[in-house]
Structure 1
Amino acid sequence: MQLGLSQEGIADATQGVVSQSTMSALEVGRQELTDLAYIRVVALAKALNWSLAEMQRATGVDLGITPVTLVGEGSADVYPLTAALTLDNPGPAVDHELITPGLKRPLLLRMDSEEMLGVTSASIRPGSTLHIDQADTTPEEGRVYVLTDQDGAHVRLYTTTRLGPVFRAENRTFEDIPATEATIIGRVVSVATDYDPNLN
C-alpha cells in the first residue's frame, strides 16, 4: 500500500473484520470499496487512522460523505443519536448549542433513548445533548461512549465483566453489548440538559 503499511498489517489492525485477501483485492482493483459492508469500511478506516471523510478524500472513492462541520467558533450543529450510524450524511440538525471546550473532533448528538436513564452519575436523560469527542475512541473503564453495532446507535458505559469487556446501559432492561461487537464513535465528554427536577 502507498501508506507504507502491509496488507497483513492493515488486516490485523481491523481485528479480523477485513481479511488480507480482501485487502489484496482492493489494492489491485478486483474489489470496490463501495461494495464492502459498512462495518468493514469503518474497520478499514480505523485501521488506517482515518475518519470516513478522510478515507473518501484519500481514495477518491465517493462514499457519500458530507462531513459534519463546525458552524462557528465554539458551536456546532446538533444531530439525533441515530446520526452516529451515518456520520457521512447525518440529516437535518435538531438544535444549535455551544460545545464543550477542548474537544479535538466535536460532535453533538441528542439522546433519543432511555438506555442510560438511571440513578448513578452515569445517568443521561432522553433529550439531553451529548458532547462527543470523536478523537477519543480508546475505551477506558467507567467512561461513557457513543457506539454503533448491528442493532443501531447506542450510548453506553464501558466496563469489564467476568465475561470480558462490555458496553453497559445504565437502564438494566437493555442488554450489555460485547466490546468486540461495537464500533466506538467517540467518548461522551459532557452532557447538557434542561431537566429541572422541580418540574416533576
Structure 2
Amino acid sequence: MFYPFELERYLEELLPAREGLLQEMEGVALEETIPVVTPAVGHFLELMVKMTDAKRILEIGTAIGYSTVYLARGAAETGGRVYTLDMNRGRLNRAEEYLKKAGLAHLVDFSCENALHCLPKLTETYDLIFVDAAKGEYLDYLDLITPLISPGGVLVADNVLFRGWVVPGSVFDQKYDRMVGCMRDFLQNLACLPEFEVSVLPFGDGIALARKNK
C-alpha cells in the first residue's frame, strides 16, 4: 500500500456497500494470497467504464474475476462487453463461476492465453483497457496495447507505484530490482507517448490513467 492502510480503509467506507459476493471474493483472495484490486480501485474501474461510455473493454489479468465484476457492472449500463484474458486456467474457471453468480457472465468473454501471445493477434480496438497482470511485463505490453486503444479511449494500469518503490532512493529487497525497474520504465515510456494524456493516481498501489487523443 503506497499510503497508510488507515487511509485505504477510510476511503472504502465512503464507497457504496459491497454485496456478499464481492466480500466473499475478497475473503478468498486474502486467504489464498491471490492478487486482486482494492475495492476503491474496483469502484474506480466501474465508474470509468460508465463515464467514458465504454462499449469494448479489454482486461489483461483476470485472476478470480474480482475486477472483472466491476468492469462488467459498468458494461451492463453502457451496453458494452468485457474481453478478459489470463493464462491461469484454474483461476479463469473460478472467475467464470463468480461472474455467473453475479449474473454478469453473459457480458464477458473469457480467454486462457498469455497476453504477450494474444495481444498481437487482436484486430479490433477497445474503448477501455485495464492492465493488472505480470508487473515485469508491463513495458512489453505497452507497444502492443497502444494501437488497440480507440481514439478517445482509456488505458488503466494497476500497481504502477509498486508499494512506492518506484520512487528513486526507495529501499527494497534486491529480488524486486527487475520488477521495480520495469515499472519505472513503463511509467516513463507511457508519460512520453505523444498521442496520450497521462496521469498517475496514488491510491491502491498506484493507478496509471492514460487517454488517447481523438
TM range (shorter): under 0.3
Taking structure 2 as the reference length, what is the TM-score of the superposition? 0.26
User: Which structure dedicates a bigger proportion of its chain to helix?
Assistant: 2
Q: Which has the larger radius of gyration?
A: 1
Answer 1 or 2: which has greater strand percent.
Answer: 1
